[in-house]
A and B are shown apart, each in its own frame.
Chain A
Amino acid sequence: MKFKLKIWHQKNAKAKGRFETFDIDNISSDTSFLEMLDILNNKLICDGKEPIAFDHDCREGICGMCSLYINGRAHGPDDEITTCQLHMRKFKDGDTIVIEPWRSAAFPVIKDLVVNRHAFDQILQAGGFVSVNTGGVPDGNAIPIAKSDADESMDASACIGCGACVATCKNGSAMLFVAARVSALAKLPQGKVEAAKRAKAMIAKMDELGFGSCTNTQACQAECPKGISIAHIARLNREFLCAKLKD
């Protein structure tokens, strides 16, 4: 397969970026998207040019490191996958592929396709943890937890913090990310104790860092590689409003 790649090139955080076009051929349909970029980078290095910088790590869809906005979709043209799980068979031979970094005021571009997602760490540091003393490890059946609660918490815990929700939201809102963290902890006994405090602190930090507000377009849910539901956003709203009413 051959492709025309239109890739965002930006020397550093302060430089002005622009799109550069590359032609690439002899790509197997079974090549992953990131492998295709590796092949391109090898070619660039052999030609004495600077390779394209992009984020990646585990390459099996669990670390949340890869990003990329491909042809108008976060993580490319497939559902519930990360970019590293995307394969070239999802494109047609001869396609032009536009590759952009996540675009958000809270995720500044560091270089080319690499963005700084430290804002997510700051939100987590604001309250995305359990600080109550939970003592030693209890017997597995000592704390009864309803299956539905455990399932909901587990679904929310699937968030890998990749930032696709922010990248795809027309408002650049981080509500799905915050909601997943709040929900994952609020549904379990240890996390419930600090649920109100956590919701307030994480929302305050989210607002401070320049993320937008949610207008329920559901784009985040559609592009989330882990299929996290906007029902968690409703829970976050509920937690936050109840916490504020108790103030």
Chain B
Amino acid sequence: MIGFLCSSIGRKLVLGLSGLFLVIFLVVHVSLNLIALFSRESYEAACGFMDSNLLVQVLVPVLALGFIVHIICSILVTLMNQTTRPVKYLVGTKTAASSWASKNMFVLGAIVLGFLGLHFFHFWAKMQLQHMLGHEGANAYELLVALFSKWYYCVIYIAWVIALYFHISHGFWSAFQTIGASNSKWIPRLQLIAKIYAIVIATAFISIPIYFFFGLNVP
């Protein structure tokens, strides 16, 4: 098993599977966020459910583990790949077939991770962490209103979502390729699904700062 995980395909398999797990998490996260666009009460009730539900509490460390595994594997794969070309080309590759995202997955992932730290500081630390420590957490809806009223936070948030879009648009189909679940018919289909999925997720995430920044929540 250790030998398998040390192989180039083994590491990529873990990277792909953890990525697909995080992709599922994004659907749950953004679905919850979108409730805030329709009803404050429903959003607060959904947040309350997430705070109290036993299954969610069990899944939180699993989610954290998913992130950690994905990050560690990406660092290992990137470090290993950095050693394979000790002398670089004078003229950088002019192959047009590679998407920009596919060539910059690590940088895109680092941008996503950087924002995640900010996100943790602004939301998780004031809500879930307070609950874990037995304190009263901040009101999630009020946090949204306060943070997304600041233009610079909205800009950072949208930049993060754009990085996430590119990361998913390659990572999603690439994960299927890595686990061997694709063929010549399914590669273009998976690439299309990945693009549609990334657009849907990015649009849903971006709609939240826009909604609050332009005061659409105020009747």
Contacts and interface: CB of A to CB of B under 8 A. Distances in A.
Contacts of A236: 180
Nearest to B10: A244
A82 interface: no
B41 to A, nearest CB: 44
A239 B180 CA distance: 8
Interface centre among B12, B89, B181 (most CB of A within 10 A): B89
Q: Chain A at the B interface: mostly helix, strand, loop or mixed? A: mixed
A239 B177 CA distance: 12
Contacts of A98: 90-91
Interface string B172-199: 0110011111111001000000000000
B74 to A, nearest CB: 10
B97 interface: yes
B90 A100 contact: yes
B85 A216 contact: no
Interface in A163-202: 168, 170-173
A216 to B, nearest CB: 4
> Chain A: interface residue count, which band?
35 or more
B95 A215 contact: no
Contacts of B87: 103
Given A207-B7, A237-B178, A241-B13, A103 B102 contact: no
A210 interface: yes
Specify the main secondary structure of chain B where it touches its partner.
loop
Contacts of B92: 72
Interface stretch (A21-29, A52-60, A219-227): A219-227
A146 B8 CA distance: 32
A247 B182 CA distance: 23
B138 interface: no
A157 interface: no
A150 to B, nearest CB: 15
Contact of A213 (B77, B89, B183): B77
A103 B93 CA distance: 12
Contacts of B88: 103
Interface residues of B, number: 43
B182 A73 contact: no
A122 B193 CA distance: 39
B91 A219 contact: no
Nearest to A152: B184
A209 to B, nearest CB: 10
Interface in B156-172: 170
A203 B180 CA distance: 15
Given A203-B9, A206-B8, A218-B97, A104 B170 contact: no
Interface of B: 4, 7-13, 77, 80-81, 83-99, 102-103, 105, 170, 173-174, 177-184, 187
Q: Which 8 A-B pairs have the closest CB atoms?
A: A238-B180, A172-B84, A222-B97, A72-B94, A213-B8, A72-B91, A171-B81, A212-B84
22 contacts: A100-B89, A103-B87, A103-B88, A105-B83, A171-B81, A172-B81, A203-B8, A203-B9, A207-B7, A212-B81, A212-B83, A215-B102, A216-B178, A219-B93, A219-B97, A222-B98, A230-B187, A234-B182, A237-B178, A240-B9, A244-B4, A247-B4
